[in-house]
Every structure is written in structure tokens, then in C-alpha cells.
Structure 1
Amino acid sequence: MDKMVLIDLETQDFRVETGIYEVACLAVENYEIVGRLYLAKEIPGYRGQRKYGFGFYNISRDPEYISRFQDFMEKHPYPIVAHNCSFDRKFLVYYRWLPADYPAYCSIQAIKAADGSLPSYALDYLVRHFHLAPAADHTAMSDTENLYRILKILRPRTWIPLGSEEFRPYGPRIKPRPLEEIDLPIATTDRLQGEVICFTGDSPYPRHIMQEIAIKNGARVVNSITPRTTMLVTGRHPGPKKLAQARERGLPIVPDHEFLARLNLSDRDITA
């Protein structure tokens, strides 16, 4: 794909109702940047870290920012590309920055098609793997520029439209490793001893990493709801069949951010 608009949003939370706080766009032609747009409104006097959209006002419904974004897209009428694009597009469509049928592609899928050997496709891992930075900043323009550099290195040839039947956010599932082979930088505990956990939906880490986190904390993991399953952990776009089965059996349904919080992993990068 020789023309695209790379996009990153900072939203403070997974829930679309939280709003949009930062937007960065790079218009790219033949892997050269031909246009830039950065939208954010800083909170005066804010003293915390400006990442994940914190330190900025919610601009989701601000007509000035929406107009500037739409003008940029009109000037560069190319498909949008984002890392885990289904997440960013959900916000843009919900707040009517983009129509629901606007062409969109996920860079995770394209990068995986270009190099399927990597253990993780999280942006934090990729910027380290390609020696671009010690870690992703989780600020809109920095993350967009890092994505641009990664795509320019790999120049993926396979791009699958978001929403098509072929699209899968993380491609074929990678099996979790047995406990003795897991080298994640987290402690081995028995906090989840006796739990049999099933995962569904898109989470901050690839599925096999989420499963390995559970295994490191004493749980068993399964890929479907069985009579022995004791918990369902859900990310974005959870499978309706698994949800229905869990509710029918009265299983605890735990959002992935709560699952990580229970294990004191909310603010840690465990893919290092």
C-alpha cells in the first residue's frame, strides 16, 4: 500500500465513552511523510506525566478539532492505518470523526505478515526490537512516528482491510509456554491457584502472553469454556459465544484491565 494515513489516539481507557484526548496523523506516500496533523488541548498547570492522553482535555466532541481532522483527511483521502486499528477506528466512528465504512487497516496484522517470527507485536516490543527507542512513549505523535519508522523498515506487502472475514487482529494463535519455560519479568506466585481461566477478545498483550501471565500466577488456561472453567477474562470485542456460555454457567467475567490490576501489573511493561 503506497498511500496511507497513520493514526494514533490517546484515550486514557479502553471504553469508548472515555473520549479522545490526543490525535496524531501522518500522511504517507511511498513511505515518505507528506503531511502531519497533531490535535490536543493541554491542561494548564498539569504536573503529571503526559502519556495515554493524561494532561489533556477531552476533544471528542469539539467541532474545531473534528473539522481540522476531517480537512486533513479530505486533503489526504487515503486509508487509515493504526496499531490495533479496530480500537482507534471505534473511537473515530463513535464520535463521528470518520464514517463507519472508511477504509482501515491494522498495522499489527501487516507487520505479522511481513515477519511472523516475532514473539510480540506490541508497539513497546517493536520499538526496542528495531532499536528505535527504549520503549514506546504512549503519546500520540511519538507512537505514530515510531510506527512509520517500523513500516518503512518492513514495507509490508500484505494488507487486509479491517472488518473483512479474513481479518484477525493477531493472526494464528501462539501457544503459551509451559511454566518452566516462561521468562516474563514477573514473579511466580500462587495468586490464581485453582483457577481455570479462558480468555476472549483483544487485550493489551497478545493472547499467549495473557495466558502465560495466568500460568505464572498458578492458573491453568483453556481455549474454550469447559465444565472446569472458573473464570472468563475479556478484552475488546469478546467472543459472544464465550460470553453467553460463561453467563449461562454463572462464571466470573473479569475485564482484562481488572485482571492485570489484581496481579499488580497494570502499569508494567511485562514484554521486556
Structure 2
Amino acid sequence: MDTAVFLYCNAKGIVKHYHIADISQDEEYIQGICLDSGDLKTFRQDRVISHHSSPEEAEQAMNAMLESGELVPYVPKPRPWETFDVCFTGYTKAEKEELSIKAEAAGLTVRKDVTVHLNLLCCGKRAGPSKIKKSREKGILILSTSQFLEFIETGEIPVDDNAVND
């Protein structure tokens, strides 16, 4: 199984180590199943502090950095997007319409299906597995409703929201 272990600094400056599997990634993001929680998580590549061979090694490195005072959290400002396509799945018609209005107000383009140009799939409580699987295969980011709302508000993809379908 292809896995990754790394130290990561989230948007709030909190540093934690993560162990993920079933990885998909591009130049900006890495996404995978967290082996501790079983949840799908998304991470910004530029926030990864260091890679390690095991969770124990990552924890030791983090503790050593904290003890020595070397660890200074890196929290870059959110990056604005030029074009960004989003698809909503698993929502009622009214919920999808409300989310679409918010997405368009934030400058995003709303799509009806998973395409090669799609950047983000936002999943509601009734999201089916086919769009999620298709998105994972294409390396498309998958977010819950609360993650999406935080994303359009801050420009950051929140990592610590455990629910994929909230």
C-alpha cells in the first residue's frame, strides 16, 4: 500500500504528523485516507514541513523541533484563484442552488459533472460513490459542505474537519 508520513502545519499554525494512504496528489495538494481516523483528508503541499518513514519518526522529529525551539509554524496567506471549477453532489435542489450562488459569488465556476477541468467536488450527505471515485481517480479535491464554506471564506482547504459528508 502506498503511504506517506509527514509533519504538517495547518492554516491555524498547528503542527501535527499525519499518516495517509490511497494517495492522490498534484503540485498544490495531496489527498488521502488518514490511517488514524479513516477520513479523507486534503493537505497543501507547501505546508508539509518534512517527510518521514514512520509515524513514530515523525513524532520524534516534531518533539525534537519543539524542544529545540526550531519549529516556527509556516502559515502563508491564502492564494486567490484565477479559475476554479466546482461540482456539488449529494444535495437537495435547494441546497445545491444555495451553494452554487455562494460559489459563483466567490468567483468559482459551477459544473454539473466530474470533468477534466474540475478542481473540486463538494459532497453532501447523500453523495454517491461513483462521483467520489471518479474524482479521486482524476486527483480532484473532495470537500464536505463545511470545508467548502471555509474554503470560499478563507481560500484555505481545512484539514481537521473530519466529516466528508456533513
| Greater strand proportion | 2
Q: With structure 2 as the length reference, what TM-score do the two structures score?
A: 0.41
Larger radius of gyration: 1
